[in-house]
Amino acid sequence: MLPAVQLTALSDLFDTEYAETHGRWNPDRPYGYSPADVHATISSGATVIAHVGFQRRSIDVGGHDVMVAGTGGVLVHPEWRGFGLGRRVMALAQRAMRDDTAVDFGYLGCREAVVAFYETCGWRRIHARESHVSISVAAETMTSDGGPILVYAAGGSGWPSGEIDLRGTPW
Ligand SMILES: CC(C)(COP(=O)(O)OP(=O)(O)OC[C@H]1O[C@@H](n2cnc3c(N)ncnc32)[C@H](O)[C@@H]1OP(=O)(O)O)[C@@H](O)C(=O)NCCC(=O)NCCS
């Protein structure tokens, strides 16, 4: 649980970007996605200007359990983009993943437009069918085949082949 002052600063960052289109940020269910239990941030004074979050979860990949740091909430304040902060805050999160001996891989899904950003930060694109709980209807399972999935080798090496079941909502 984040201290209240940090929660407020993070809310401000997310609301600046998404309040108009997606409503207010809810740390327990950010826009329907899974919450983070680790938050990497960079601040300027009291203002959080960059964030990456992750949540540990054992997922199923081709019948094997893989402990991932499911990564989301990757956001740099609009006035601070293009100065290397995205890379820096991601490096903080990646260090936390490596330091956590339980974590095999970072894992995330994203838009095509930002794949290059993640690749410059050391993430690698994989191709697999992924199923997960819908972010809008909890009783529904969604399956996707083509959307970008990227992994980061934190402790593990060699992403296993096979279909992926996130065993919950995505990040
Ligand atoms: C994507 C985002 C986090 C990048 O942050 P940033 O601070 O501008 O990125 P950096 O300055 O650290 O850039 C690091 C590298 O990624 C590249 N990069 C940055 N934004 C990129 C983008 N949107 N697409 C592709 N490459 C990008 C940069 O060119 C740089 O590469 P280089 O070092 O080879 O020149 C930021 O643009 C953002 O918050 N966007 C809106 C939210 C979003 O789309 N988040 C991702 C959700 S999946």
Which residue has the CA at smallest separation from atom 13 of ligand 1?
A: 84
pLDDT, tens digit (0-9, with 9 covering 90-100), for 89-137: 999 999 999 999 999 999 999 999 999 999 999 999 999 999 999 999 9
Ligand 1, pocket-test mutation among 25, 114, 150, most atoms within 8 A of CB:
114
Question: Whole-model pTM above 0.85?
Answer: yes
- In sequence order, the 6+-apart residues with CB closer than 8 A to the CB of 53 are 35, 36, 38, 39, 40, 71, 72, 73, 93, 171
Cα separations in angstroms, 78 against 19, 39, 51, 72, 114: 14, 19, 12, 17, 15
* CB 87 near ligand 1, within 6 Å: yes
DSSP 8-state symbol, 121: T
**What pLDDT shows up at residue 3?**
83
* CB 117 near ligand 1, within 6 Å: yes
CATH dotted code for 4-165: 3.40.630.30
**What pLDDT shows up at residue 4?**
87
**What pLDDT shows up at residue 123?**
98
Instruction: Please tell me the distance from the alpha carbon of residue 106 to that of residue 112, in angstroms, as a whole number.
Output: 18
Percent of the chain whose predicted confidence (pLDDT) is above 90: 93
- In sequence order, the 6+-apart residues with CB closer than 8 A to the CB of 111 are 148
